[in-house]
Amino acid sequence: MNPILAVVVLALVALVVVLVLRSRGSGGGRNGPRRAGRRIDPLAGDVSPAGDPHHIGVGDVIAYEGHDWVVRGSVSYDQRGYRWAEHLLDRVGEQFWLSVEEDEQLQLVRWQAVRAASLEPTPTVQWDGAAFELEERGRARFRAEGTTGMPPEGEVEYHDYEAPDGRLLSFERTGDTTYEVSIGVAIPPGAMTIFPGTGA
């Protein structure tokens, strides 16, 4: 074979190989293109496998109890400089609120609304076979984003209780509305994994 022709053939073969490898690495395989703003491997880089609960936002996905929950809305609270947040998590119509608070240590609580129109915030509240004692009450300013069922901003009045078994009870209302009552259970910080949404 002509030496020049052999060099040309080898160059063409090398070019084809490079193009094939490049097309496989660009997301054309079974996994499709990588989603912008979300880590495929939560262990990569310097991010904690569980994510940072302090930075949860609307559109994030939270893996918890074997399911993926989407953050539909978030509310940030400020009581004279003390801040905490609550997030509405949704999974095909099933919802709960997740509160994130830093009081000496990180506290995560799953809140579920309960039908308790007859309950009033008194020093001791009897509910579901337990006596809940008043722990704290007050008012705080809030800002809401996404889907929360609350105004974009305003003031909330709250009364927080705890039972001997560790369960929590909360009364909340904005303005002159009736109290919304929720039962809360603490969640270990490592029990969920947080994936930033596409807007992160």
Cα(97)–Cα(74) distance, integer angstroms: 9
Q: Do 27 and 104 reside in the same domain of the chain? A: no
The answer to whether residue 10 sits within a structural domain is yes
Q: Is residue 47 in a domain?
A: no
Statement: residue 175 has pLDDT above 50: yes
Burial of 86 (0-12, 13-18, 19+ CB in 10 A): buried
Looking at per-residue confidence, does 18 or 53 come out higher?
A: 53
Mean pLDDT value across the chain: 79
| 191 close to 63: Cβ distance less than 8 angstroms | no
Residue 45's φ and ψ, nearest 5 degrees, are 70, -155
Same domain as 58, residue 20: no
Question: Quick check: is 41 in a domain?
Answer: no
| Residues 109 and 23 reside in one and the same domain | no
Same domain, 26 and 58: no
Residue 56 identity (one-letter amino acid): I
102 shares its domain with 163: yes
Same domain, 119 and 27: no
DSSP-assigned letter for residue 85: E
- Is the residue at 8 inside a domain? yes
Q: How many domains does the chain have?
A: 2
Residue 36 has pLDDT above 70, yes or no: no
Q: What is the reported pLDDT for 42?
A: 39
pLDDT in tens, 78-90: 999 999 999 999 9
What does the DSSP 8-state code read for residue 4? H
Placement of tokens 């002159």 in the chain = 176
Range of the domain at 11: 1-33
Q: Are residues 73 and 154 in the same domain?
A: yes
Are 173 and 156 in contact by the 8 Å Cβ rule? The answer is yes
pLDDT at 137 over 80: yes
Please tell me whether residues 28 and 69 are part of one structural domain: no
Q: Is the pTM of this model over 0.75?
A: no
- Same domain? 102 vs 12: no
Token duo for residue 7 = 């060099």
C-alpha 28/C-alpha 26 separation (Å) is 6
